[in-house]
Structure formats: structure tokens, C-alpha cells
């Protein structure tokens, strides 16, 4: 993987990029919005405008309900919804606009047996490693069965951003837990998700899979898709997009993404005008 290229958002030549891509994919938490919170008004306006110039996809470990709260409720009817593709639970589900509503076009749900095995392994290893905190120390559900994905959130799904960021800044806890669970579930994919979470999905399902699916949906090569995300380190859940061949752009926060969107939109607007 030595030839995998990751581009920092502030070093990208957006004038050149505009001619290299036919679509843009985005991570959600810490990329388009703070964790589990709605997009800002500025981001919603900029993101909606971008959809009028190029197909845009959002790929996140979060469930569809979070997409509705964090994205759809904020952009309203300002976006070109025919140019917006929603891929929750790490691309195991795909939603597209059918002219009147958002329709689930596919869902790769885990079997009941696989879901039970994932929940058992996550619970057991989290307790063994001291990561199963008392109920009064977490915010919301720590284990979620999302059908196509089982997610363990050490601090609970509703934990404040500051607590999440402080819990495991070097990702040692999460990576250790993911490795232990992966050893139990060789037929499934186990990976470090958000800042405090571990996701379990069907084998071979990650954001590289999502890029290949998006490529087929849009009839463009993966190499003609840019992907913007904050977890572009080799153990991060955005890194597989680069491995798949997408033009990978690293950001550190939604403010970086907002500026990247504005720069790209400015370039694409000129192209459209011509």
C-alpha cells in the first residue's frame, strides 16, 4: 500500500482537481458535522450548492436516522437531491431520491446468528479490557444493532464531542478491542469506527466497497471520485477509499471541509458557466 496517496485539503490544487473528478464522497462525523450533531447552516448551504455542480455521496458508519437529522433536515430542498447519494452504516445501505422521497435501494443485513456473535464478542472483550463503563458513566446506548452493522460505542451514542475526543486520542483502546473481536469473527469485518466506536459488518464491507458501489451507480471509475474524510490514517475507516483508488483528501474538522467545498465549488462553477 505504499503507493496510496493521501492529500491534505489545504495542499490540493482545486483547479486541477475539478478536471480529475466526476463525483465527491464525504464522511459525516468530524467531516461534514461534529459527531452526532447537525451540519451548521454555513455547511448546509455550501454542501447543497455543491450538489448542483457534481454528484455527492455521504458514507458514514452512522445509521440512516442520523443522516436525516444531521444532513437532510438542514439542507431541506436547497440541494439537487438527484445528485445526492446516502450510504449509511458504512455503505451497507444505499438511499437515493425517487422524485418524492428517499428510497432504500439495497441493504446488506447481517444474519441473526452473526449479529448475536458480534454482540457477544464486543460485550465480552469490552468487559475484559475495562472498556464496559458503568451505566451512569455513559450517554445513551453503548451497543446498537443497525441490521447491517453492529456498533459498540464505549461512551454511548449520545456522548458529548469533548468526552469522545478525550477518551482515546491515540486510538490504542479502540484498536485493541477491534483486534480481539476480529479474532473471534473471521467471517465478518471488524474495524475501528468513530472516535469511541467499533463497527462489525459483513465481510468485505468498508468504504472501499462503498466507493465501488458508487462507481457502478454513477458509471464513473473510482479514480474519478474524490473522498473527503478525517480518518485517513491507515487504521482509519476513511483510508479504504484511498486504497480503492479514490482521490483521498484528509481534513481534521468540518471547518476544513467547508473551505474545501467552497474552493471546489468555485472551480466547478466556472466550468459550468463555460
22 is in an annotated binding site: no
In this structure, what C-alpha cell is assigned to residue 81? 437531491
pLDDT at 143 over 90: yes
pLDDT at 197 over 80: yes
| Residue from 272, 274, 268, 273 nearest 15 by CA | 268
230 is in an annotated binding site: yes
What's this model's pTM, rounded to 2 decimal places?
0.86
Write out the E strands in 100-223: 102-107, 143-145, 150-153, 188-192, 197-202
Q: Averaged over 130-134, what is the pLDDT?
A: 96
Same fold, 6-107+205-273 and 112-202: no
The 10s digit of each residue's pLDDT in 73-98 is: 999 999 999 999 999 988 889 999 99
Class of domain 6-107+205-273: alpha beta
Domain topology for 112-202 = 3.30.1240
109 is in an annotated binding site: no
Domain boundaries, the chain: 6-107+205-273, 112-202
Which residues form the catalytic set?
Answer: 27, 29
Nearest-angstrom CA–CA distance, 73 and 48: 12
pLDDT at 115 over 80: yes
Amino acid at each position: 500500500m505504499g503507493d496510496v496517496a493521501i492529500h491534505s485539503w489545504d495542499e490540493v490544487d482545486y483547479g486541477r482537481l475539478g478536471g480529475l473528478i466526476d463525483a465527491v464522497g464525504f464522511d459525516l462525523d468530524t467531516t461534514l458535522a461534529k459527531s452526532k450533531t447537525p451540519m451548521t447552516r454555513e455547511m448546509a448551504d455550501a454542501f447543497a450548492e455543491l450538489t448542483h455542480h457534481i454528484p455527492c455521496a455521504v458514507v458514514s458508519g452512522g445509521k440512516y436516522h442520523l443522516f436525516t437529522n444531521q444532513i437532510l433536515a438542514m439542507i431541506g430542498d436547497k440541494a439537487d437531491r438527484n445528485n445526492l447519494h446516502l450510504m449509511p452504516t458504512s455503505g451497507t445501505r444505499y438511499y437515493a431520491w425517487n422524485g418524492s422521497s428517499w428510497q432504500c435501494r439495497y441493504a446488506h443485513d447481517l444474519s441473526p446468528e452473526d449479529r448475536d456473535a458480534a454482540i457477544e464478542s464486543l460485550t465480552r472483550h469490552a468487559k475484559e479490557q475495562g472498556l464496559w463503563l458503568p451505566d451512569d458513566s455513559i450517554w445513551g446506548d453503548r451497543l446498537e444493532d443497525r441490521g447491517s452493522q453492529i456498533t459498540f460505542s464505549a461512551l454511548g451514542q449520545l456522548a458529548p464531542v469533548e468526552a469522545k475526543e478525550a477518551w482515546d486520542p491515540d486510538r490504542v483502546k479502540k484498536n485493541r478491542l477491534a483486534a480481539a473481536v476480529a479474532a473471534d469473527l473471521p467471517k465478518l469485518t471488524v474495524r475501528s469506527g468513530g472516535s469511541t466506536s467499533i463497527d462489525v459488518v459483513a465481510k468485505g464491507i468498508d468504504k472501499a466497497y462503498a466507493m465501488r458501489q458508487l462507481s457502478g451507480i454513477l458509471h464513473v471509475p473510482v479514480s474519478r471520485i474524490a473522498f473527503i474524510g478525517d480518518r485517513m490514517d491507515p487504521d482509519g475507516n476513511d483510508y479504504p477509499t484511498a486504497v480503492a483508488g479514490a482521490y483521498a483528501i484528509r481534513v481534521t474538522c468540518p471547518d476544513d471541509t467547508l473551505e474545501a467545498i467552497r474552493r471546489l465549488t468555485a472551480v466547478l462553477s466556472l466550468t459550468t458557466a463555460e
